[in-house]
Amino acid sequence: MVNREYKSSLFVDLFSDAKRGLSIYNALMGTDYTNPEELKIVTLKDAIFMHRKNDVALLLEMRLLMLEHQSSINPNMPLRGLQYYARSMDGYLEKNQLNIYGSKLLKIPAPFYFVLYNGREDALDRESLKLSDLFECRTEGYEWTSTFININSNHNRELMEKCPELKGYSQLVEYIRENVDKGMEREESVDAAVERCIKDGYLVDYLRQHIGEARGMLLSGFNEEIYEKGLREEGIELGKRNMIADMLRNGKDPQSIADFCGISLQLVMDVKNSIVNA
């Protein structure tokens, strides 16, 4: 059973450092700040409500950069980002003792929400996802945007050059996947990828200083990706069985269903028997 409550990930550990955090902040925001001490790391400490702990939030001059790292494509990210920002503002208001019920106009950090994707599914380099696309009833005057960025190798090269740490992270993940595709076991895949990154000049200082922790976090993330892949496959299988059940209830005969859907007759009969026995 995969432990989905692991404390951290390589991504969050990497960019929760002020210097590396400033690097990714500048790359995404198009800025050129040079003093890491001006950057505040304000990642939510209790982000269990989102079933993940791999978010990074960086605050600089009242601009709140919120990052979420994803290995699967999720069209609901604008809603998740809005939840994230709302929770962040709860903490900001409390910490600064600001009263939203008073008559004084409050000033709060402006949000910038980025989803950094490195899954295996094909995706655009960059895309704006809008909260209004989720509205059941179309409405004007309100919007929240999630900026989707593909950080797989050979994507967004200009961005990667601006942030060597992000490029190194992307390359490390790519090396691990290449090793897995060659048939290596997961531990061997991770160890070989780390060695190759150091040899090729990616994340050298970080990996040498935190080799043990990095290896553990990579293996946790590796398990997480496998787990999520399994959940998606289970969902597809359940959807297929539900479709077969609906066709059977509508009077379709098993052989016609099997031919139409391109599936085995045995699967159709299994579903039919489960309906009869329910």
- What is 33-56 written as a DSSP string? ---GGG-EE---S-GGGGT---EE
Across the 278 residues of the chain, what is the mean pLDDT of every consecutive 10-residue run?
Answer: 45 94 98 96 63 73 94 90 92 92 95 94 93 88 93 94 96 91 87 95 94 82 52 58 80 81 80 74
Which pLDDT does position 206 carry in this prediction?
94
Q: Do 230 and 136 belong to one domain?
A: no
**Run of H or E including 113:** strand 110-117
- Model's pTM, two decimal places? 0.75
Which pLDDT does position 54 carry in this prediction?
41
Are 3 and 220 spatial neighbours (Cβ–Cβ below 8 Å)? yes
Q: Do 156 and 232 belong to one domain?
A: no
Q: What share of the chain is helix, strand, coil (3-state, %, to 5)?
A: 55, 15, 30
| CA dist 68 → 58, 100, 107, 233 (Å) | 12, 28, 25, 23
Q: Do 23 and 103 belong to one domain?
A: yes
Q: What CA–CA distance (Å, rounded) separates 34 from 31?
A: 9
Is residue 198 situated within a structural domain? no
Which pLDDT does position 113 carry in this prediction?
97
Q: Do 45 and 144 belong to one domain?
A: yes
Domain of 23, in residue numbers: 10-162
What is the CB-side half-sphere exposure of residue 253 using CA atoms within 13 A? 2
Domain count, the chain: 2
Q: What CA–CA distance (Å, rounded) separates 168 from 115?
A: 18
